[in-house]
Amino acid sequence: MLLIRKMDCFGQLILVTCMLLSMPFLYFVGVKTGLIILGCWQLISALFNTYCFIDTGYKKPIIIYWGLWIAELGLSFLELQFENTLSNDYTTAIFWITIGAAVFIAGYYLRIYYGLINLLFLRNELDGLTKSKH
C-alpha cells in the first residue's frame, strides 16, 4: 500500500511540474486545467487516505484540508452564483482568490501527504527491525 501512496504522491508532483513548465507556452490555461485535474486527483486521494491520516495522528491537518476544500468549493459556488449580478471587478477578484486558494490547498495537501508517507515508511522500517530480533 505504501508503494501505491508513493506513486500517487509523485504522480501529483509530476503533474505540478508539468503545470509549471507549461506556463511559458500555454500561459494560465495550462495552470487552470492542471489545477482542475490536480484538485480532482487530490480529492480522490484524500477520500481514500482520510482514515489513514486520522489513524496515524494526522487528524488535525486532514481536517484543516477538508475545511479549506469546503471553503474553496463555497467560494467557487458563490462566484458562479453571482457572476451575472455582481460587477466584473468583484467576480474577477473572487476568481483570482479561488485560484490562489486552490494553489495553496494543493501545496498543503502535498506537504501533509508526503509527511504521511514518510511516517508510514519509518513505521514499516521499525516494524521490520523489531520483528527480526525475535
Q: Is 134 within the bounds of a domain?
A: no
> Long-range contacts: 56-65, Cβ < 8 Å, 24+?
56/116, 56/119, 56/120, 56/123, 57/119, 58/112, 58/115, 58/116, 58/119, 61/112, 61/115, 62/112, 64/108, 65/105, 65/108, 65/109, 65/112
User: Does residue 85 sit within a domain?
Assistant: yes
Q: Is residue 28 part of a domain?
A: yes
User: What's the pLDDT band for 132 if we cut at 50, 70, 90?
Assistant: low
- The confidence band for 43, taking pLDDT boundaries of 50, 70 and 90, is very high
User: What are residue 120's phi and psi, to 5 degrees?
Assistant: -65, -35
Domain contains 78: yes
Integer angstrom CA distances of residue 35 from 17, 46, 80:
12, 16, 18
Query: What pLDDT is attached to residue 36?
Result: 87
State the average pLDDT over residues 17-22.
Answer: 85
Q: Examine the pLDDT at 134 and tell me if it is beyond 60.
A: no
Cα torsion 83, 88, 90, 94 to 10°: value is: 60
* Section 55-71 average pLDDT: 94
Give the pLDDT confidence score for residue 85 in this predicted structure. 79
Q: Do the domain assignments include residue 44?
A: yes
Give me the number of domains the chain comprises: 1
Between 84 and 18, the higher pLDDT residue: 18
Residue 61 placed within a domain: yes
What is the domain range of residue 102? Answer: 2-129
Q: Is the pLDDT of residue 133 over 70?
A: no
Average pLDDT (35-56) is: 92
**What cell was used for 83?**
457572476
- What's the gap between Cα 1 and its chain centre? 19
Contact 102, 68 (CB under 8 A): no
- pLDDT at residue 127 above 80? no
Query: Residue 26: inside a domain, yes or no?
Result: yes
Question: Cell for 36?
Answer: 482542475
